[in-house]
Amino acid sequence: MSAGPWRSPDEESVDLYPGLVVHDGRVSGSITTGRSRLPLWAFASVAVTHGWDEVERGWEPSRYDWTAETHARFLHHLLEARGEFARLLLVLADADRRDVERTDAALAPHGPVVIVTPGDPDAVQTPPPWWADPELSAPVVDQLRRCLATLTDEDTA
């Protein structure tokens, strides 16, 4: 089994999409605004549900040259994925959704403050992350293979 989705040693990828960075050792390898510690997931839903002014009040992504316009363009480009690549986005999002739901279910009976520190005998044991669980990772593996096949002219059935 792999050590997860991170590169070892940690790497920083700054040239994958303008204004966004992934660093394996920063914010758990999340997509961040520039070389900051501000992950897109921290404010993406607020932008949709409460507007960009609320995002600026809480996170100030414009300090990192990330604006409502750049955010909208990124989401547009991301959601322009088609066919097998669109399916990959949906499969990834579903794996994350299912992972969050089962972790929440594991934590819920233990109250609002829960110890989850690995190795602590009093810690609540949470399920492994989706990529380490064959049931949740299998659809992602299958869809990745389909995506690779479209790029290499292999059979996608």
**Of 78, 94, 110, at which residue does a domain stop?**
78
Whole-number average pLDDT of the chain: 94
pLDDT at 57: 97
79, amino acid identity: L
pLDDT of residue 1 exceeding 60, the answer is no
The residue segments making up the domain with residue 26 are: 12-78
Write the CA distances from 17 to 33, 65, 82, 152, integer angstroms.
Answer: 11, 13, 18, 23
DSSP 3-state of 31:
strand
Residues 54 and 88 both lie in one domain: no
Helices then strands, counting H and E runs in the chain, come out as 5, 3
Give tens-digit pLDDT for 136-156: 999 999 999 999 999 997 665
Residues 17 and 60 both lie in one domain: yes
Residues 92 and 135 both lie in one domain: yes
**Of 29, 63, 78, at which residue does a domain stop?**
78
DSSP 3-state of 116:
coil
Cα four-point dihedral sign 107, 4, 132, 120: negative
CB 114 within 8 A of CB 107: yes
Looking from the CA of 34 toward its CB, the CA atoms found within 13 Å total 10
